[in-house]
Amino acid sequence: MKYKVLIVDDHWLVREGLKLILETDDRLQAVGEAENGEIALSLMSELQPDIILLDLNMPVLGGLETMKRMKERAIKIPVIILTTYNEDKLMVDSLAYGANGYLLKDTSREHLIRTIDSALRGDTLLQPEIMERVFRARIATDASPARKDPLQLTDKEVHILRAVAKGFRSKEIAGDIGISERTVKAHLTNIYNKLGVDSRSQAVALAIEKGILQQ
C-alpha cells in the first residue's frame, strides 16, 4: 500500500525536489501538487490524499488560511508545514490550526520521512529546537501561563503529553513508563476530554498555549 501525498508549494523547483525525495520511499507516492491553497482545497476531495505537505507563504491562499478552511469544512487530513519561515508565531499558529509537524525547508530527508510517518499515525512531531522555541514564544506573550490554566492534568498525563509532542507512539510511551498501551490510550482520552480537543495535534497545541507542558 502506498500513502498518497499532496504537495502544496508555489515554487515548482521545491515541488519537484519533494517528489524526488518521496520517490526514495516505497510507501509514499506524490499524487498531486498545487501552487496555492485554493487549488489544494479543490484537489483534496478529488485525490483523497493521506497527507499534505503545505507551504505557508503562497499567493491567492496561504498555508494558515488553507488549514483554517480545512477545519471549517471538517477536512481531517494530516498536514505538515514545510516552509522557509523560521518565525515563532507562525509555529504556534500552525499548531493551533492542527499541523502535525513544522519543518524548515533545509530539513534532512530522514527527518522529513520520520515526520511524515508520525503524521500518518495521527501524531504530532516537532524537532526539539522548534518545540523549545514554541515554549519560549508562549512564555514571552504570557509571563505566567500555567496560573491561567484552570485545567489540571495529572503528572502522568503531562508526561504522556510531552512524549506525544516528541512524536512517540502509544506503544513506545507504554514501554517507557511501564503501563499497557491500552492504559496510555485511556490517559489520552482523559487528556482530550480535559482539554476539549479530539486529536493529538490539537492537544499539543493547546497544552503549549496554556503553558501546561512548561509545568
| pLDDT tens for each residue of 51-62 | 999 999 999 999
At 21 the pLDDT is: 96
The CATH code belonging to domain 3-133 is 3.40.50.2300
First to last CA, the chain: 42
Question: What are the extents of the domains in the chain?
Answer: 3-133, 145-214
At 121 the pLDDT is: 84
Sign of CA dihedral 112, 55, 11, 105: negative
Positions of the chain with pLDDT lower than 70, given as ranges = 127-129, 131-151, 214-215
Instruction: Please give the C-alpha separations between residue 132 and each of 45, 110, 208, in angstroms, as whole numbers.
Output: 35, 21, 10
At 14 the pLDDT is: 96
Count of positions (residues) in the chain:
215
pLDDT tens-digit readout, 30-49: 999 999 999 999 999 999 99
At 145 the pLDDT is: 43
Q: Are 49 and 32 in contact (CB under 8 A)?
A: yes
Instruction: Please give the C-alpha separations between residue 122 and each of 66, 110, 131, 211, in angstroms, as whole numbers.
Output: 19, 19, 18, 22
- Tell me the fold of 145-214: Arc Repressor Mutant, subunit A (1.10.10)
Residue 4's DSSP bridge partners are 29
Alpha helices in 48-108 (DSSP H): 63-72, 88-96
At 137 the pLDDT is: 63
Q: Are 40 and 34 in contact (CB under 8 A)?
A: yes
Looking at residue 62, what DSSP letter applies?
Answer: -
Instruction: Please give the C-alpha separations between residue 15 and each of 31, 113, 150, 200, in angstroms, as whole numbers.
Output: 12, 16, 44, 28
